[in-house]
Amino acid sequence: MSEAKTYTGGCHCGKVRYEVKAGIQDVVSCNCSICMKSGTLLAFVPAAAVTLLSGGDQVTEYQFGKKHIRHQFCPGCGIRAFARGAMPDGTEMYAINVRTIDDVDLGAFKVKEFDGKSL
């Protein structure tokens, strides 16, 4: 990651809002069934880098497969702004859907493909 920058973002209706302080350069395009159907581009950051500004206690959670990731979405508009889980070393993390960052320039990120379908 590059130098940390503060990003804000959230769902479509504005109920769920977050702030993340991270040096996001690379994002992950995963081919698992949920990422393919929702079109997410993910940046993985430590949980300590994320502040939930609103609606964090109202999100609906969905898990599938091995249930390692807690996919969370707004109960109002259905947008998946982030998911929660743990890194291989056990550190709590967020997978931020960079498409939900306010005024995001998606071209600023290098997209890395991940074969989640094979897991």
- Look at 61-65, 74-78, 79-83, 105-109 and tell me which has the smallest mean pLDDT: 61-65
Q: What is the 3-state secondary structure (H, E, C) of the chain?
A: CCCCEEEEEECCCCCCEEEEEECCCEEEEECCHHHHHHCCCEEEEEHHHEEEEECCCCCEEECCCCCCCEEEECCCCCCCCEEEEECCCCCEEEEEEHHHECCCCHHHCEEEEECHHHC
pLDDT at 100: 96
Share of the chain above pLDDT 70, in %: 99
- Look at 29-33, 49-53, 67-71, 77-81 and tell me which has the smallest mean pLDDT: 67-71
pLDDT, one tens digit per residue, over 32-60 is 888 888 889 999 999 999 999 998 888 98
5-114 folds as 2.170.150
